[in-house]
Amino acid sequence: MHTDDQLKEIVKQKYSEIALQDKATNAASCCGAGGCSTEVYNIMSEDYSTLSGYNPDADLSLGCGLPTQFAKIKKGDTVIDLGSGAGNDCFIARQETGETGKVIGIDFTPAMIEKARNNAEKLQFNNVEFRQGDIEKMPVSANMADVVVSNCVLNLVPNKNGVISEIFRVLKPGGHFSISDIVLQGELPSQIQAAAEMYAGCVSGAIQKQEYLSLIEKNGFKNITIQKEKTITIPEDILSNYLTPEEITAFHAGDTGIYSITVYAEKPADVACCPPGCC
């Protein structure tokens, strides 16, 4: 069993490799985790190319939804993107918030931060910045963001409650988030749950859907809404790396489901600060 720090190091190493890969390599993999499938599509991501502000150099095909499409960003907003990667969601958020707003991307991996900063410089965006840091302890002040977005990142974090608590801390009263993530219904086979490659590939770090929604509610958020949900189907050639043919048959016959969900929630406008102990 890996410790939280060991899991974080696995993710950091894997996403350092991904930062140096091209989009075509990532798109042929499970959430960018490497050449883990011969299928010629990404089993998680969605097409960003039609959204205003899209920049192909920033799209590493790592997400599992389109949170910025649902985030209700307004002109002049301050937006924080958790696990900002090469800057894809940040640049789309910047299109919505305009020159009078501000977008801050936070990422754990130095190679991703460097790639995102280079992309921002090429685009000459002076109101988009990228900060290296742990989203369990965000390098931003409390009550500063109007909107928080994130795309297929919380499932990679061992302490999900800590991240959700941090989201509450950094949002202004009345602010909100829109987050795309991977969740489960039923238990994954232990072989997949324990596999580090699948963890970095966005599946085995996921938790139960109801537990995920309960963490959001317990941290004080209101008006929790699932804005979008889709089933994730893992290709047979990925499953065969971890399960026998008989186990694959049993897996398909069971009631286990893997889903991409985009969740919206609001920090109450009448909150003076945040839950006890977080300020």
Per-position DSSP letters for 114-145, written without gaps between them: HHHHHHHHHHT-SSEEEEE--TTS-SS-TT-E
pLDDT tens, residue order, the chain (279 aa): 566 666 666 555 665 555 555 555 444 444 544 444 444 335 556 666 667 676 666 665 566 788 999 999 999 999 999 999 889 999 999 999 999 999 999 998 888 899 999 999 999 999 999 999 999 999 999 999 999 999 988 888 889 999 999 999 999 999 999 999 989 898 877 777 666 556 555 676 788 999 999 999 999 999 999 999 988 877 777 788 888 899 888 888 888 888 889 999 999 999 765 454 554
Domain ranges of the chain: 4-265
Are 91 and 53 within 8 A, CB to CB?
yes
- Looking at the domain that runs over 4-265, which CATH code has it been given? 3.40.50.150
Q: Under a CB-based contact definition with an 8 Å cutoff, are residues 243 and 212 in contact?
A: no
Q: State the CB neighbour count (10 A cutoff) for residue 30.
A: 24
Could you read off the pLDDT of 212-243 as tens digits, one per residue?
999 999 999 999 999 999 888 777 777 888 88
Query: E strand or H helix at 104, and its extent?
Result: strand 102-107
User: CA-to-CA distance for 273 and 279, rounded, in angstroms?
Assistant: 7
What is d(CA 196, CA 142) in angstroms, rounded to the nearest whole number?
34
> CB within 8 A of 243, min separation 6: which ones?
189, 191, 192, 251
Residue-wise pLDDT tens digits, 91-136: 999 999 999 999 999 998 888 899 999 999 999 999 999 999 999 9
Write out the two tokens for 23: 């989009």
